[in-house]
Amino acid sequence: MPPGSGSLIKYLGSKRGLLPQILRAVGAAAGDRAVVADLFSGSARVAHALKAAGWRVLANDELPFAQTLACGLVQADAEHWAARADKVLDDLSHLPPAPGWFTATYAETARYLHPVNAARLEAMREAIERLEPAPELRAILLTALIQAADRVDSCAGHQMSFMRELAPRALKPLVLRQPELLPRPAAGPCLALAEDAVSLAGAIECDVAYLDPPYDQHAYLSNYHLWETLVRWDRPEVYGRAQKRVDCRTRRSAFNTRAGIGPAFTRLVTNLRARTLVVSFGAEGFLARAELERMLAGRGFLHVLEVPHRRYAGTRLGIHNGRGEKVGTPGPEGTVERLYVASDRRLDLPRNQDYRMVQGGHVPGQDRCSGAAAGPSATP
């Protein structure tokens, strides 16, 4: 198992199966003291693995729950926070249940959690709010809460719906564990940001940029609205059987639309000042392979890796209505994730069943990333 690929939350589009190839690609392009940016960090699985491998990581995601995971798993260093976090987590674990709005919404009206686990989670979250801990400690504690809830939830890897009957794991008691904290890399401190990736791209400098943008209509806020509410603790207006936050209707990324994703991705890769880009993109995303290859061709040498993997459980199970009746057929068992590695120089990547060389040299007349105009730096 790659370093830093331990037990993190279930996540739609998780790159757990792609981590060895991502780390290999970054390693071919980056030196020991390189800065690697993950501009759509999501569950922080990749950023966490990059930190474990020793690079200085800039993890970014504009959703507060994702930025919190990045702060707790990537920015926070074990040698500074592990002992203090253990003490607070132990105290939180002994709190009695305190059911309130959260329990009523997400364990009674919607059944994502067993009511007892939800009430314990609610007591812990209220206690963290009263503690007013330092930002990194707060992120560690909230990450521990999210991970604990994820281990006993009753849904199929996302929060667009929940199981008709509580899943067996939901009957287990909620247990707090310290997240997998890592020591500070020798390359320097890591940083977690919560910015729009396209806007941030022109303001940072890094050696390698890893990009895993949304690439279809599935918005991560709608898929993980429960974690967003647990972090923000704002008692939002909710709607529908899934009790989603009402802002799920309005807070959407340009990457979630067919019309918006092309211009947004073009601006992103044009603005980035990094010698190498490593891009994850699903074969069924809004941008076809030929379009992505064309957008990345100006960076010089392009390798493409195709990795087959199983679809997430919800797609494989089929579509159900509000009464739990199947009204749609299951989708295909598998799909393909592609990894595009674009660099201004030839990288030592294998040309075998893993990687295929698509573009073997710089395209005349195209600007290379290293020639971009200088700008302000947000390098950690």
Q: What pLDDT score does 233 carry?
A: 97
- What angle (nearest 5°) sits at the alpha carbon of residue 38, between those of residues 231 and 36? 135
74 contacts 39 by C-beta, under 8 angstroms = no
Q: Which of 276, 302, 296 is nearest to 206 (CA)?
A: 276
Question: Tokens 């067993």 identify what position?
Answer: 114
| Six token digits for residue 69 | 């995971």
The pLDDT score that the predictor gives to residue 144 is: 98
Strands 208-211 and 276-282: parallel
pLDDT at 372: 28
- Look up residue 329 and give its amino acid: T
pLDDT in tens, the chain (380 residues): 344 444 577 766 556 778 999 999 999 999 888 999 999 999 999 999 999 999 999 999 999 999 999 999 999 999 999 999 999 999 999 999 999 999 999 999 999 999 999 999 999 999 999 999 999 999 999 999 999 999 999 998 888 999 999 999 999 999 999 999 999 999 999 999 999 999 999 999 999 999 999 887 888 889 999 999 999 999 999 999 999 999 999 988 888 899 999 999 999 999 999 999 999 998 888 999 999 999 998 899 999 988 876 655 545 445 544 445 565 565 556 678 899 999 999 998 866 556 666 655 443 333 222 222 223 333 44
pLDDT at 218: 80
Q: Rounded CA gap, 228 and 224, in Å?
A: 7
Give me the pLDDT at residue 331, please: 58
pLDDT on residue 227: 96
Residue 182 is predicted with a pLDDT of: 98
pTM for the model? 0.86
Break the chain into its structural domains and give their ranges.
Answer: 1-64+187-214+254-371, 78-181+224-252
The torsion defined by the Cα of 158, 163, 167 and 169, in degrees rounded to 10, comes to 20
The domain at 1-64+187-214+254-371 falls in which architecture?
3-Layer(aba) Sandwich (3.40)
> Which letter does DSSP use for residue 169 in this model?
G
The position carrying tokens 């279930």 is 10
- Stretch (H or E) spanning 358: strand 355-360
The three-class DSSP label of residue 68 is: helix
Residue whose tokens read 């923000």: 232
61: Cα separation from own chain's centroid: 8
Place of tokens 């971009």: 372
